[in-house]
Amino acid sequence: MREIAAVRPAVTVAAIVECDGAFLLVRERTRNGLRLNQPAGHLEPGESPPAGAARETLEEAAWHVEATALVGVYRWEAPDNGATFVRFAYAATPIAAVPGRALDEGIVGALWLPYDEIVARRDEHRSPLVLRCIEDYRAGLRWPLDLVQDVVGEGAGLYVR
């Protein structure tokens, strides 16, 4: 029987925001130096994934956005430390910038980049998820927001196969 890993996968959310052919990215400090990423972060308790993606975009890029569709769910293992991430990536419509808003710790700034420049700067990406999510978005992958369901209430039912 396979041992269960001591650390469970981290559930993260990300926003894929496009405006006038450019995508919203953030420059963030990591243990590997400055890297480019979508506005993204850990899902908080009690938070729906679309709400988390919108919150992360406000906190990291100072933009209000509205999630419109699920682009995909991605599992990735970081090669340097084996950490596993499960990312829910959402297409999001930009609503309004919030000038002067302080950004999350570690975020150097937000920038809008065209696809070609994002590809050219792939060595600066935080992970392969950055480009993969944008490419899936550009390929038209969209799932309804209600594909991921919130389940509330208590239950003691027994599941039998």
- Per-residue pLDDT tens for 63-101? 999 999 999 999 999 888 888 999 999 999 999 999 999
Closest of 140, 16, 13 to residue 87, by C-alpha: 13
Closest of 48, 85, 55 to residue 70, by C-alpha: 48
Which residues are bridge partners to 131 per DSSP? none
Positions of the chain with pLDDT lower than 50, given as ranges: 1-5, 158-161
Query: What was the pLDDT predicted at 158?
Result: 45
Structural domains of the chain in order of their starting residue, each with its CATH number: 10-147 (3.90.79.10)
Q: Which two tokens stand for residue 74?
A: 């991605």
Query: What was the pLDDT predicted at 53?
Result: 98
Query: What was the pLDDT predicted at 160?
Result: 45
Write down the pTM of the prediction: 0.89
For the chain, percent of residues with pLDDT exceeding 90: 81
Report phi then psi at 53, rounded to 5: -65, -40
Query: What was the pLDDT predicted at 3?
Result: 46
